[in-house]
Structure 1
Amino acid sequence: MPGFSITLLLLPTEHEADSPAADYVLTLLDDKPDVPGWEWCPPTSPGPLSQQDAAPKADEISGADLGGFSAPDPRAFVDGIKSAAEALIKAEPEITRMDSIAGDGDCGLTLKAGAEGVLAKIESGDITGQDIPRSIITIAQVAEEAMGGTSGALYSIFFSGLSQGLHANASRDAQVTPQVWAKALKSALDKLYGYTRARPPSRTLVDPLEAFIQTYAASNQDYVKAVTAAAEAADHTKTLDAKAGRSAYVEGDRLKKEQIPDPGAWGVKVILENLSA
């Protein structure tokens, strides 16, 4: 993924001076290099992203205007989220094992931290079936604050986009229907794709996520069929070459030999399989 690094360099001070070392080093830093993979950038950079280009912040869309949208069965809505969170916590050792081979070993713990944060919000009454967009925004905030890492950012962006999509497609003071969910999920995926280059098949969490969202819309909101498609996509990551994410830094032959699926994709599978339990 795109990124940047900051290097701190200790230069000789004026008190160490009988030597022009500091000035000399600075002239070298400004010299145009002729090496592969390192292109000198002039001081006149394009500048920071504009506000409209920046990733959506969960707390920026959590105002009072999100209220008024309920689930057909509010209790089942909360129970489903609770079931998915508990399943993630239970799956942590296995996802951690996968990530110790296919990544840096922290995916299971990251998802567990997010799940525990969601359960705490359910306990405090911040996640309810009476106010779906606000509940989804609460989950986005948990992802942003409790999970950390790339997974936390991606989950936060996706759930922020999902809340916005629900708000845009549902009628105020009405129930959130499966048709509304389908439109909101599509808009959330589009929002997520604005901030990651990963596209299926990529051996990342977007593989099962896109499979679920597309199948859900194409099958007239058949949740079981959509979950099956997501599970198949997650399992299929065992055979894929990584194009992005944690596995892109791991030897591909080893992953295929050991038949290790992408841990992030497996986390999405666990969530979806238990969300309606």
Structure 2
Amino acid sequence: MTRLFNDPSAFADEMIEGFVAAAGRWVQAAPGGVVRSTQADEATVALVIGGGSGHYPAFGGLVGPGIAHGAAMGNLFASPSAQQVHAIAKAADQGRGVLLSYGNYAGDVLHFDQAQERLRAEGHDVRTVTVTDDIWSAPKDELHKRRGIAGDLAVFKAAGAAAAAGYDLDGVERIAKHANARTRSFGVAFTGCTLPGASEPLFTVPAGKMAVGLGIHGEPGIDEVDVPTADELAELFVGRLLEELPEGVSPEGARVVPLLNGLGNLKYEEMFVVYRRIAQLLIERGITIVEPEVGELCTSFDMSGVSLTLLWLDDELETLWAAPADTPGFKKGSVAPQRAAAAVVADAADASVPESTEASRATAALIDASLAAVAAAIDAAADELGRMDSIAGDGDHGIGMQRGSRAGADAARAAAEAGAGAQTTLTRAADAWSDRAGGTSGALWGEMLRALGARLGDAEAVTAEAVAEGVEQAKDAVMAFGKAKVGDKTMVDAIAPFADDLARRVVAGEGLRAAWGAAAGYCESAAQSTAELAATLGRARSHGDKSIGTPDPGAISFALITQTVHRVLAQSTGTSKEQ
């Protein structure tokens, strides 16, 4: 288990601070993560990678000459926010374009896509290539749905080497796609991992058993089998991966890079015993092994497990794999001399607020009180939310909601005290929530609060009709942004009935307090009913049946928030249709 920490919610921030202090030869701190502390004489395409913390050397440990130019580093097992990705990409861009690359997870896709849209609007040339190497996470005919695990390194290394060699953005993008298409991975685990402050691992494996097809965020395996011998595990790895050959590849005469990756708590000596048989099996099939790697390449805290990645080479990929690289977590050959890069200076925050009316400022005060109560309620429920999320997901929902709600509450308080109206207060809370929470829920709560704020505005008195319409628009924004629908076992299963019931009651003439309270009760029932569903989206998708019997944590946290806001409304002054 993870033993050394201070405040668990501050673990990622403190880890990044210590990493920068230890790795200053390669990286410097930047808002949202790290960028290189050195640069080459000639400008190149910038490769920006990223993902949740807890996977070292991925992702910050792969920043340096020959691989990445920057890494957006999210909370533990949670995607970085769009603000983080945007800031890192801006700091890394050398004027020749930016390639964003990361593992194919729902939260990462949402945030990186948001950042890409914003960067393009500002004039940056930005492309994206997601890594989809995990053969167990989706069938062969749905390769685009597969998640990225240790194959991240193969794709990042090829793309980074192409950038260093002077390829233009089209060329770097092509290489990243080509490397991803020729990379396959398969992982197993013997024990789960435990997040800082947690008393139990995210999942457990029965004694004498091995979880097959695990994910690097603590997602439990697809199957459990008896623990094999080292040779039997090697045979399982190689046999299964040879059934998953990329298009145009045949084993005989092929050249391949094997990456045997320890997930955090497996001894190197054990991995060498396994690799011994892997090498034998590949050679027996007429395959030439090229510059293999055995070690910790993409970890999962203290998970006891191992994965095998095969990167199938052609002449161009082989040249790029062999190219030099010098990063804190991965080194190969000798890179050309570098010079010190300019220090990154964070943009100053704009503390001014737009003009607002007294009526809107009164609503802003109520928003401030509501979000403060929400943060307290989430604090109390965080452990249980994390437990529910660990059943078929990665267990980070509680800590992500904690970070997001606290940041949202602090931002709302600062805005309200500065004289902001309802829209500005909600927008600033949205930005802070999304930025600090990261992950899918952070992105979605950011969308909801912005949509509600846009409807309320800063100039008008807020009516029950305006609130109901704003909640309806928040629902629509979430469904359009996250692509979920009712029945997918997501937060939408609570949002939709709440928004629809609230709108129906307000149209019928009920005051906001009464309508909100009744809708919140309906929402709670809908959230609890998600226990009957199997997950079909997000990280829990590949473990959908395991989620049956446990409510969706996003739906439960949404219902908790609606009930908390109703308590604040019930204690507020004013007419039943205002505030």
State the TM-score bracket (shorter-chain normalisation).
0.7 to 0.9
Equivalent residue for 2:378?
A: 88
Structure 1's 98 and 210: CA in aligned 2 closer, same or farther, altered over 3 A?
Answer: same
Matches within 5 A, 1:180-219: 180-219=466-505
Aligned-pair distance for 1:198?
0.5
> Residues of 2 paired with 1:247 and 1:166: CA distance?
35
> Residues of 1 paired with 2:353 and 2:480: CA distance?
23
Structure 1's 127 and 204: CA in aligned 2 closer, same or farther, altered over 3 A?
Answer: farther
> Residues of 2 paired with 1:74 and 1:157: CA distance?
18
The answer to whether structure 1 residue 114 and structure 2 residue 114 are counterparts is: no
Give the SS at the match of 1:250. Answer: helix
Equivalent residue for 2:462?
A: 176
Normalised by the length of structure 1, the TM-score is: 0.72
The answer to whether structure 1 residue 144 and structure 2 residue 144 are counterparts is: no
Is this contact kept in 2: 1:165–1:184, CA < 8 A? yes
Q: 2:517 aligns with which of 191, 200, 224?
A: 224
The answer to whether structure 1 residue 126 and structure 2 residue 415 are counterparts is: yes
Matches within 5 A, 1:1-277: 1=106, 3=109, 4-6=129-131, 7-9=155-157, 29=178, 33=247, 64=354, 67-68=356-357, 70=360, 75-123=365-413, 125-127=414-416, 131-167=421-457, 172=459, 174-220=460-506, 221=512, 222-252=515-545, 254-256=546-548, 259-277=549-567
Aligned-pair distance for 1:181?
0.6
> Residues of 1 paired with 2:446 and 2:389: CA distance?
21
> Residues of 1 paired with 2:449 and 2:526: CA distance?
21
> Residues of 1 paired with 2:363 and 2:451: CA distance?
23
> Residues of 1 paired with 2:416 and 2:498: CA distance?
23
> What are the Cα deviations for residues 81-124 of structure 1, in whole angstroms up to 9, with x where unaligned?
2212110111001101111113101000000001221332355x
Give the SS at the match of 1:5. Answer: strand
> Residues of 1 paired with 2:445 and 2:529: CA distance?
21
Give the SS at the match of 1:202. Answer: coil
Is this contact kept in 2: 1:102–1:263, CA < 8 A? no
> Residues of 2 paired with 1:127 and 1:108: CA distance?
27
Is this contact kept in 2: 1:85–1:271, CA < 8 A? no
Give the AA of the match of 1:105: G
> What are the Cα deviations for residues 216-258 of structure 1, in whole angstroms up to 9, with x where unaligned?
0011251111101110111011001212133213241x322xx
- Once superposed, what is the RMSD of the aligned Cα atoms? 3.3
Is this contact kept in 2: 1:72–1:177, CA < 8 A? no
> Residues of 2 paired with 1:157 and 1:260: CA distance?
26
> Residues of 1 paired with 2:406 and 2:353: CA distance?
24
Structure 1's 214 and 118: CA in aligned 2 closer, same or farther, altered over 3 A?
Answer: same
Is this contact kept in 1: 2:451–2:477, CA < 8 A? yes
Give the SS at the match of 2:430. Answer: helix
Q: Which of the pair is proportionally richer in strand?
A: 2
> What are the Cα deviations for residues 169-218 of structure 1, in whole angstroms up to 9, with x where unaligned?
x8x3x320111111112122222222121011211011111111100001
Is this contact kept in 2: 1:212–1:226, CA < 8 A? yes
Give the stretch that moved more between structures: 108-117 or 2-11: 2-11
Is this contact kept in 1: 2:411–2:425, CA < 8 A? no
> Residues of 2 paired with 1:145 and 1:205: CA distance?
19
> Residues of 1 paired with 2:480 and 2:353: CA distance?
23
Aligned-pair distance for 1:264?
1.0
Equivalent residue for 1:55?
A: none
Unaligned runs of 5+ in 2: 1-105, 110-128, 132-154, 163-174, 182-245, 250-348, 507-511, 568-579
Is this contact kept in 2: 1:71–1:176, CA < 8 A? no
Give the SS at the match of 1:105. Answer: coil
Structure 1's 140 and 270: CA in aligned 2 closer, same or farther, altered over 3 A?
Answer: same
Structure 1's 73 and 186: CA in aligned 2 closer, same or farther, altered over 3 A?
Answer: closer
Aligned-pair distance for 1:63?
6.7
Is this contact kept in 1: 2:531–2:551, CA < 8 A? yes
Give the AA of the match of 1:145: D
Is this contact kept in 2: 1:212–1:227, CA < 8 A? yes
Give the AA of the match of 2:478: L
Is this contact kept in 1: 2:520–2:566, CA < 8 A? no
Unaligned runs of 5+ in 1: 14-25, 36-58
Structure 1's 216 and 10: CA in aligned 2 closer, same or farther, altered over 3 A?
Answer: closer
Structure 1's 132 and 242: CA in aligned 2 closer, same or farther, altered over 3 A?
Answer: same
Equivalent residue for 2:79?
A: none
Give the AA of the match of 2:455: G
Give the AA of the match of 1:223: W
Equivalent residue for 1:21?
A: none
Normalised by the length of structure 2, the TM-score is: 0.36
> Residues of 2 paired with 1:140 and 1:114: CA distance?
9
Give the AA of the match of 1:231: E
Give the AA of the match of 1:5: T
Task: Say how many residue pairs are matched.
Answer: 230
> Residues of 2 paired with 1:242 and 1:251: CA distance?
4
Give the AA of the match of 2:447: I
